[in-house]
Amino acid sequence: MTMPILNLAAYRFWPVADPQSTRSTLDAAGRALGVKGTILVTPEGLNAFFAGAEKPCREMLARLRAVPGFAALQAKESWSAGVPFKRFKVKVKKEIIRMDHPTIRPADQQAPVVDAKTLARWLDRGHDDAGNAVVMLDTRNDFEADCGKFENAIDWRIQKFTEFPRAVQAHRDALQGKTVVSYCTGGIRCEKAALYMHELGLTNVLQLDGGILKYFAETDGRHWQGHCFVFDERAMLAPDLRSPVQDA
């Protein structure tokens, strides 16, 4: 099947001085280029997921990188037969992902990361390089975990991310002494989650760099069960970054 549509997902925690002006600039660019998708502009950073023909999508990514402080913005790529968004919109919000903990500021301090290939190696062995047991912690909502997750991952059945801090507090003792790897779809939730756990004194916590999508892109998807839920018309992606329908 021909896969002519480029799908880009990108985020970066970095202060945006004037969210409303930035929203207007990006909205005009996206409409002129004809891409479809959603961009969130917040005081703590940008989050974008959009799709279209390759050339306008890469130009839109360049426009995002032109926002002051976002030259280093990295994007995860996948391809599809059609555009999985109906329209283009740019929204201003208070947080990229709501957590209701203003002390968690990823732009100021990033939690340690583990890259996809290293994580796959650890999971092959059953421990990290120091010999510690590795615990995979799903920071997504329960319905997302039901679509697919890492083998033996902890899933606290949260229904929204604002419930995550309370869940950590309830299970904190069970995580002590283990290497905890927080993960989510693209990296946003697990980045905030890892910082919060460090704040609680769980210092051996890492975030999966780039989330599930980057893990799929850089490994063969081993140790993953099922599909990855995505918030567009594709609904779920297999480890080869194609939707189940396209795999059939």
Q: What is the pLDDT of residues 127-139, one digit of tens each?
A: 999 999 999 999 9
Mean pLDDT (whole number) for 62-72:
97
Query: Per-residue confidence at 247, pLDDT binned at 50, 70, 90?
Result: very low
Provide the pLDDT for residue 244.
66
- Indicate whether 18 and 67 sit together in one domain: yes
- Residue holding tokens 């010999």? 131
Which residues lie below 8 Å from residue 173, measured CB to CB, with a gap of 6+? none
Residue 1: the pLDDT is: 61
| Same structural domain, 65 and 32 | yes
Domain harbouring 64, CATH code = 3.30.70.100
Q: Catalytic residue positions? A: 184
150 alpha-carbon distance from chain centroid: 15
Whether 234 and 126 map to the same domain: the answer is: yes
In terms of Cβ atoms closer than 10 Å to its own Cβ (0-12, 13-18, 19+), residue 170 is: exposed
Q: What is the pLDDT of residue 239?
A: 93
DSSP state, 105? -
For residue 78, what are the domain limits?
Answer: 5-92
